[in-house]
Structure 1
Amino acid sequence: MRFSEQILANSFGVCTAMSTADWSKLPVELLGLISSRLHFAEDCVRFGAVCKSWRISILQHGNYSCSFLPWLMRPQTKHESLRRFYSPFNGKGFRDSFVCKVILSASPCSSDCVIFAIYADNWKMAFVKPGDVSWTPLSCIHGHVDDAMCHDGKFYAIDTFGEILIWDLAGSFLKRIAFTPSRGMDNLVYVTTYLVELEGQIYAIMRLLFDTRITDTPCLTTWCFEIYKLDICNEKWEEVKSLGDWSIFVGSNHSFSISCSTYPECESNCIYFTDDFSGVYYKAVFSYDIGVYNVQNDRVQSLPQEDISDFAFSLPLWIIPSLS
């Protein structure tokens, strides 16, 4: 039994014996001790829902200020429109022209926030700033955009031609840097690249896939990943063979890194990935390609799925729960 469940059990027993107890008037110090020991997002939400004083306590003393481990947003099924969340770290599920991706330069509450969008099936990009009445297209895009990110006051995008494109936050094009991977691509059907920030540096995470329809599995399957770090000063990429004490999460919405010393539940030197490629074959296939890639031994382990849903209109997403 987890600490939070023990607290609830004890509270139920006390309530039975003392039905007139006013739980909103528990000592602030006691509430602080309890809330500081809650480490799961769902426990923090339940604790804060009891009453106003409990919510204030969880916001002041709880672990909400630290990022939670990511949840996976699962795709909707054929028979319902609800989206569900799943945590691979505790095995729990949680209920509760097309723009492909949106990237923010800052908090949406900030007056300095610039919003970048990838649209038109990843072939075009545009941006908008507070006060603008319309989107402004970005120039110098000649290919399919794999991924994009904001970093250190600039906007970066990487395309299928192996180039990274850089703009300032005013939308002015600055430069392009060639990206040349080391591994041969002759036997691969599909390759995509994600941009990730790790310890203040920009990394390109290249995902290599096989078409497994030849073995009667109608989907694309991840074979391995390659990792590169951008040397902006010398305008070149350096291949990286280990992530050390870090793990990286990649997917169609947002890719990010996590320190495994802070979150020991995460397996270090690994890449957690979701299935991004169901649209390649339209609605003819089901998708299975969600798993963890171990950088050290160059192996992929699939994450279990309770059922296989049609991903034609939605994809699983990584999110980081937050109470703020």
Structure 2
Amino acid sequence: MVYRFIVLERIEFENRVLGLKKRGEEDEDSDEEWPDDKAKIVCSSHGWLALFHFQNDNYDLFLSNSLSRRNIKLPPIQNLLNIPESILKGGYLSVTNVIISSSSLDEEDCRVMVIYGRDQRLAFCCPARARVDPPQRSDWLRVIGDSGDHFVAWDLRDPLSPRMIPMVISVDKNNYPVAAQSELELDLKLLCKIDEKFLVVAEPSDELFHVRRFVMLRMGPDGSFVDEVWHGAKGFDYSVPYKTVGFDVQNYEPETGSLKYMDRSLGGLALFIGSNHGFALSGAHFPELKPNSIYFTDTIGPPEWDDHDYRGHNVGIFNYENETFWSFYYPIGLGSIRKIVPSPIWFTPTTPL
């Protein structure tokens, strides 16, 4: 198995793609437990990849740093509540995201949160404690409810007593459920059957953004909408790819508890969304990035997406100011799209590539 990294800041194409073997000869004699090659990459967080194995009754969940060659096995996922065996074996929706509070897993205050199950429940553990405490203390410490479709915060400083902090949301009078600068843009967004929602954190300012991505399920080669086609026993025709057509971004204002629509400006930030947790970087601090833009990749998606002839192609950069798209690696044109599984994810290295 080889990891492929596409370095955005490098202009020359031949120098942009780096290959790194999952395990080298120097790792063969290591006593450290390694994830199986059949484990799938769920997401990434703070320089770590989360890999989940869901075959042959092996449901191991690992954090792997492909640059430092470290692997940390997390407590057994089957110990969590409300995961039917059928969900575990299928792999879908059993583990949909893993979020780490910091890149230093050896720190006592580091927390690993997992989103799992069909109802998107939350659980967390302390990776540093798992290596020094008795086995019973290294388990998932607490299931803390489902994420649902509402805002809520959790204080995890005391691992034995997590505390929920309600976040009351009010609607600003200038807030838009669906925003558009033209009737065509509004029509496209309203026709979308896929309306994905993401939370994006800008560090170190701690700003919180709510991002909505509108994805048209079927798009023609000229970008037009294509009706669903039913072929009876063969099911729906999935020969036409889905495509992102737009975004809406709202900023959470803790003083008023409101989500305020951001009108064609992201304050010079570049937002990153996909299967990993959302994050934002300042264009002033990272001049190689495009400010006021949204860098996006495909998400894992529901199981039925596997029937598509196209998968993993929904990748690009969206200029939030002028509503334009730019393909930075995978071509957006219909004739160039191919099925890519798994979908690319964002990776923020903690050591230089």
- TM-based fold match above 0.5: yes
- Looking at structure 1, the residues matched to 98 and 154 of structure 2 have their Cα atoms a distance apart, in angstroms, of 16
1:101 matched to 2:123? The reply is no
- The aligned residue for residue 139 of structure 2 is 134
- The aligned residue for residue 201 of structure 2 is 197
- Looking at structure 1, the residues matched to 201 and 287 of structure 2 have their Cα atoms a distance apart, in angstroms, of 20
- The aligned residue for residue 215 of structure 2 is 209
Residues 121, 144 of structure 2: 8 Å contact kept: no
Q: Shift of residue 250 of structure 1?
A: 1.3
- The aligned residue for residue 15 of structure 1 is none
Q: Could you tell me which of 225, 244, 265 is aligned with 2:247?
A: 225
- The aligned residue for residue 177 of structure 1 is 168
SS in 1 for 2:350: coil
- The aligned residue for residue 114 of structure 1 is 111
Q: For 1:18-57, list aligned pairs within 5 A.
A: none
Residues 269, 296 of structure 1: 8 Å contact kept: yes
RMSD over aligned Cα, in angstroms? 2.7
Q: Which has the higher helix share?
A: 1
Q: Shift of residue 269 of structure 1?
A: 0.9
CA offsets 1:210-240 (integer angstroms, 9 cap, x no match): 1116377533311111111112232221111
- The aligned residue for residue 265 of structure 1 is 288
The 1:238/1:217 distance shift into structure 2, 3 A limit, reads farther
The 1:219/1:278 distance shift into structure 2, 3 A limit, reads farther
Gaps of 5+ in 2: 21-87, 89-93, 180-188, 220-225, 228-237
Residues 210, 221 of structure 1: 8 Å contact kept: yes
Residues 122, 145 of structure 2: 8 Å contact kept: no
Structure 1 outlier segments of 4+, above 3 Å: 136-140, 176-181, 215-219, 277-280, 306-312
Q: Could you tell me which of 301, 306, 309 is aligned with 1:283?
A: 306
- Looking at structure 2, the residues matched to 86 and 321 of structure 1 have their Cα atoms a distance apart, in angstroms, of 12
SS in 1 for 2:201: strand
Larger of the two Rg values belongs to structure:
1
The 1:111/1:191 distance shift into structure 2, 3 A limit, reads same
Structure 2 length normalisation: TM-score?
0.57
Q: Shift of residue 120 of structure 1?
A: 1.8
Q: Could you tell me which of 153, 166, 172 is aligned with 2:153?
A: 166
The 1:140/1:320 distance shift into structure 2, 3 A limit, reads closer
- Looking at structure 2, the residues matched to 177 and 280 of structure 1 have their Cα atoms a distance apart, in angstroms, of 33
- The aligned residue for residue 41 of structure 2 is none
Residues 271, 292 of structure 1: 8 Å contact kept: yes
Q: Percentage identity across aligned positions? A: 21
Residues 205, 228 of structure 1: 8 Å contact kept: yes
Q: Shift of residue 305 of structure 1?
A: 2.2
